[in-house]
Amino acid sequence: MCSHYQTLKDAELLLKKFGARRRPAAIGKYDMWPRYEGVFLRRPPEHDAGDDAVPEREAVAGRWGLISAMTRPDGLDRAGKLSTFNARAETAAASYTFGNAWRRAQHCVIPADAIFEPDWRSGKAVPTRFTRANGEPLGIAGLWDRYRDAAGQWRESYTMLTINADNDPLFSQYHQAGKEKRMVVILPEGAWSDWMTATAQQSREFLVPFPADKLMATPMP
């Protein structure tokens, strides 16, 4: 489970590397924690409108912690307190929170400089920073949805998809002993566009571990 990541500091890199035409109004905080406003990339909801002005992908600011479009106004407070910043890929389709986004194939890519996981091998939780070994940004597979807030305004939100990491050569070493090991789905660069346009039936084809030898783990003070 990833509850802390670092987004991109450079808005120009976001545009260049991830192919967005326009930068979002705000990049948000560099160190991201659940319920913060962050940036994600998606295929615009109007992609099938037949309008050439609609870009292939867009950068959007939203809440890290998905709130389903199915959430009723009287359920917003409760939904906002749930830990929905990660979604288990195995159960997302049947989940009340994530099911709408999964069925509608509302896929997104979350740009990141790094993600953090705890290393418990010493008996204490040592925050560990994971980056790509070549220094390039990460593209994390996620789902997005939009909900109406208390004032009736539409708000964007997103979550990161996770998979089992019990047998992963890198992430199996992290988290507490005796608990299931999990990892976020880090997409190869060549799969970013395909993930954003994939159908719901194609979703699981992308939910595979990123090569461990292409990542670097750095213990933090």
Query: For the segment 119-178, what is each residue's pLDDT rounded down to a tens digit?
Result: 988 888 899 999 999 999 999 999 999 999 888 899 999 999 999 999 999 999 888 878
Higher pLDDT, 77 or 23: 77
The distance between the two most distant Cα atoms of the chain, rounded to a whole number of Å, is 57
* pLDDT band per the 50, 70, 90 thresholds, residue 13: confident
For the ranges 6-10, 11-15, 100-104, the maximum mean pLDDT occurs at: 100-104
Q: Which distant-in-sequence residues (6+ apart) come within 8 Å of 16 by Cβ?
A: none
Query: Distance (Å, rounded) from C-alpha 12 to C-alpha 4?
Result: 23
Given its phi and psi angles, is residue 175 left (phi above 0), alpha (psi -120 to 50 degrees) or beta?
left
Q: Point out the least confidently predicted range of 5-19, 95-109, 121-135.
A: 5-19
- Residue listed under structure tokens 């783990």: 217
**pLDDT computed for residue 84 by the predictor:** 97
Residue 159 contacts residue 84 (beta carbons within 8 Å): yes
pLDDT at 50: 55
Asked if the model's pLDDT at residue 196 lies above 90, the reply is yes
Q: What pLDDT score does 52 carry?
A: 64
**How much is the pLDDT for 201?**
96
Closest to 62 (Cα-Cα) out of 84, 37, 44, 97: 37
Q: For the chain, give every domain's residue range.
A: 5-219
- Residue 178 burial by CB count (10 A; 0-12/13-18/19+): exposed, middle or buried? exposed
Domain at 5-219: CATH code: 3.90.1680.10
Query: Per-residue pLDDT tens for 18-75?
Result: 878 777 766 778 999 999 999 999 998 876 655 666 678 899 999 999 999 999 888 9
pLDDT score of 218: 96
